[in-house]
Amino acid sequence: MEDSNREAEDVSDADAAITELYTAHYAGLVRLATLLLRDEAVAEEVVQDAFVALHRRWRKLHDPQKAAAYLRTSVVHGTRSVQRRRHVADRHPEDRPLDAPSAEQTAMAGATGDALIRAMRKLPARQREALVLRYYGGLSESEIAAAMKISNGAVKSHASRGLATLRPLLESWS
């Protein structure tokens, strides 16, 4: 009996935490996942999966800060899974037309910005992850390392290789 009461408390505790974390992080994580994946609907699914996973694990985590880190890790992992699956389903992903940029996007980032995004999407996944987490997520090296489940050094090298590839575009953009 005591056990089931405690369980019930844990569940409502988890529910409350999820609501709070949702408000704080959901939109940001969906945007992050969209940058990594391109497909917004799938990105949302990945983020929802992460929240559901977090809910299940809440009893162990119990810490909003750790929870945010867990969500990021989970989202990065989720986007990788999607991409792997996509790769299996679609043998020629390069042949697929890129999503047409929206009018707003073109207006805001300009043609060069758009080219930059396209170039970023062609980067190897780890380089893209490192760049998105750093330059969109604004995360520290250790936070990125945790999210990608790699070492700090590896974060550094993925990010700098990615940046090097994009550099010509970045320099020409004024």
Partner 1 sequence: MSEMNEKWTPEEERLSAALHAQADNVTPGPDGLAQIRRRTVRAPWWRRPAFLTAAAGGLATAAAVIIAVNSLGTDGGDLSVSPADSPTTTEPASPRSPESTPDDDTVSDDDDATVGPTESPADSEDADTGDVDDGADAESDDQDQPPGDDAGDGDGTGEEDANAEPDSVYMAAEGSALPVYYVIDGRITREWQRVDSTDNALVTAVHQTLNGPSFDPRYETLWAPVDVVSAEVVDDVIEVNLSSPVELAASPESAEVAVQQLVYTATATAGSLVDGVSSALPVQILVDGEPPTDLFGQLDMTEPVTRDDQNDVRYFVQIDNPGYGAEVAGPVTVDGVAAVHEANLLWELRRDGEVVDSGYTSTEEAFTFSGYSIDLGDLDPGTYEITVMEDDVSGGEGRDPYSETKEFTVLE
- Chain residues binding partner 1 by CB under 8 A are 1, 3-4, 14-15, 18-19, 22, 26-28, 30-32, 34-35, 40, 43-44, 47-49, 51-53, 55-57, 70, 73-74, 77-78, 80-81, 84-85, 88, 102, 104-105, 108-109, 113, 116-117, 120, 131-132, 135-139, 149, 163, 166-167, 170-171, 173
For partner 1, which is the closer residue by CB, 153 or 164? 164
Classify 12 as helix, strand or coil: helix
For partner 1, which is the closer residue by CB, 28 or 154? 28
Q: How far is the CB of 67 from partner 1 (least distance, A)?
A: 12
Length of the chain (residues): 174
Q: How far is the CB of 105 from partner 1 (least distance, A)?
A: 5
Dump the DSSP string for 29-64: HHHHHHHHHS-HHHHHHHHHHHHHHHHHHHHHH--H
Q: Which residues contact 147 (CB under 8 A, 6 or more apart)?
A: 69, 72, 73, 75, 76, 129, 133, 139
Q: How far is the CB of 116 from partner 1 (least distance, A)?
A: 5
Q: How far is the CB of 169 from partner 1 (least distance, A)?
A: 9
For partner 1, which is the closer residue by CB, 16 or 96? 16
**Tokens found for residue 108:** 């805001």
Q: How far is the CB of 81 from partner 1 (least distance, A)?
A: 5
CB 69 within 8 A of CB 140: no
Cα–Cα distances in angstroms (integers) from residue 173 to residues 99, 112, 114, 136, in the given order: 22, 6, 11, 18
Nearest alpha-carbon partner for 126 in 151, 105, 99, 96? 151
